[in-house]
A and B are shown apart, each in its own frame.
Chain A
């Protein structure tokens, strides 16, 4: 009953360091997403992947890269972290069709100092 699993849950980085957030889902979903959540701004889409081997930019892709490793896994990489990337990051997945529910991981709290 895992659903969407993301790691790590908490991370502190220094400006300029790199890191990768890992995400895996066990619901056989084609679509996967990375969002960031900042106070008063709701969730904003960073990147999404419609299927294995494809990725596309969302609203706020600058400073991030993603990899859809296989159908289950979708990772988010910060190549050179900046304080503006301090945020809570959520991975999510959904099935096909507009009425499909989007399922979220528990979130990753990232602080860049």
Chain B
């Protein structure tokens, strides 16, 4: 079974400094990986996804993530944090349900990003 570990439950950065949110996964085959963002009292919005094409994936709002198979990591980065980036971020891996053949999405426990003025 696949799993996702987000290594930090909280991250604080100053506005204008780089952001690094860490995610490790376990997988028995080539996974599809996603990052979602959730602003307070809102639903989840897709930031970016990896589906075995380019290992460096660019997403919305200046975020990107690099798939590193040797390290089983999919860390999310942004060169310069903005106040509007304050939110909770979820790393997600998808795997197939054996019986039904549909896909399930396994969520990490989330990283809350705080951006300081």
Give the B-binding residues of A (Cβ under 8 A).
30-31, 33, 35, 40-45, 48, 50-51, 54, 56, 58, 90, 92, 94, 96-107
How many residues does chain B have at the interface if contact means C-beta atoms less than 8 Å apart? 30
Give the A-binding residues of B (Cβ under 8 A).
9, 31-32, 34, 41-46, 49, 51-52, 90, 92, 94-97, 99-105, 107-110
Cβ–Cβ contact A48 & B49, under 8 A: no
* Complex alpha-carbon distance, A96 and B100, angstroms: 12
Cross-chain contact of B102 among A42, A44, A96, A107 (Cβ < 8 A)? A96
Residue of B nearest to A99 (CB): B51
Inter-chain contacts of B96 with A (CB < 8 A): 98
B10 CB, min distance to chain A CBs, angstroms = 11
**With known contacts A31-B102, A56-B97, A56-B100, A42–B107 Cβ distance under 8 A:** yes
Inter-chain contacts of A54 with B (CB < 8 A): 100
* Complex alpha-carbon distance, A45 and B1, angstroms: 15
Cross-chain contact of B32 among A45, A50, A98 (Cβ < 8 A)? A98
Residue of A nearest to B45 (CB): A104
* Complex alpha-carbon distance, A111 and B31, angstroms: 36
Cβ–Cβ contact B43 & A105, under 8 A: yes
A29 CB, min distance to chain B CBs, angstroms = 10
Most B C-beta atoms less than 10 A away, residue of A30, A58, A104: A104
Cβ–Cβ contact A106 & B43, under 8 A: yes
Most A C-beta atoms less than 10 A away, residue of B51, B52, B100, B103: B103
Cβ–Cβ contact A107 & B104, under 8 A: no
A32 CB, min distance to chain B CBs, angstroms = 10
Cβ–Cβ contact B107 & A101, under 8 A: no
Most A C-beta atoms less than 10 A away, residue of B32, B100, B101: B100
- Given A43-B90, A94-B103, A104-B44; 20 other pairs, CB 8 A cutoff: A33-B105, A35-B107, A40-B9, A42-B90, A42-B107, A42-B109, A42-B110, A43-B107, A50-B101, A56-B99, A56-B100, A90-B44, A97-B103, A98-B32, A98-B94, A99-B94, A100-B103, A101-B34, A102-B34, A107-B43
